[in-house]
Amino acid sequence: MSGANLFQLGIGLETGAQAEDTTARDILDEDRDDHFIREDGRVFAGRHLIIEVVDGHGLDDEGRIQQAFRDCVETCGATLLHIHTHKFSPQGVSGVAVLAESHISVHTWPEIGYGAFDVFMCGDSKPWLAVDVLKRAFGTADVRVKELLRGDGVVSEAEAA
């Protein structure tokens, strides 16, 4: 593989990351600034919402989608790093909002009023608030949600004892 290909893949690049040297006990420490969520005796990396917008309007409008991303970020208390969207021909938009807390992504099928959104956030952000933002942004009450607790069970209290 040429040096250019290695660079494109990110191999051998300095990331600024420090060597990993943690134990389960470290991760369960309430004072640890890792943005893991500690709730009801569970420790997990973040909430990942699979959000389906059904009978939505404006799902072919890049600007509207980018504004919906911004509104979700602000309402959920997250930190926007970058937005990238792509409009397909004849219709449809894919996009991602990269967040300090993870990401929001979408792929739309405007011809049937459907948008498949992922909202994944860690730390103190509140991803469930994105549901009402998306309802308003795309003019529908039919928004279906499934929640995954990312990293749930990877670290348990038993491992930390």
Active site residues: 102, 107, 122
Residue 105 forms beta bridges with which residues? Answer: 96, 118
DSSP string covering 18-31? PPP---HHHHH-TT
Whole-number Å distance between alpha carbons of 131 and 145: 8
Neighbours of 153 (CB within 10 A): 9
Tokens 């509207």 sit on residue? 64
- 141 by Cβ neighbours in 10 Å (0-12 / 13-18 / 19+) ranks as exposed
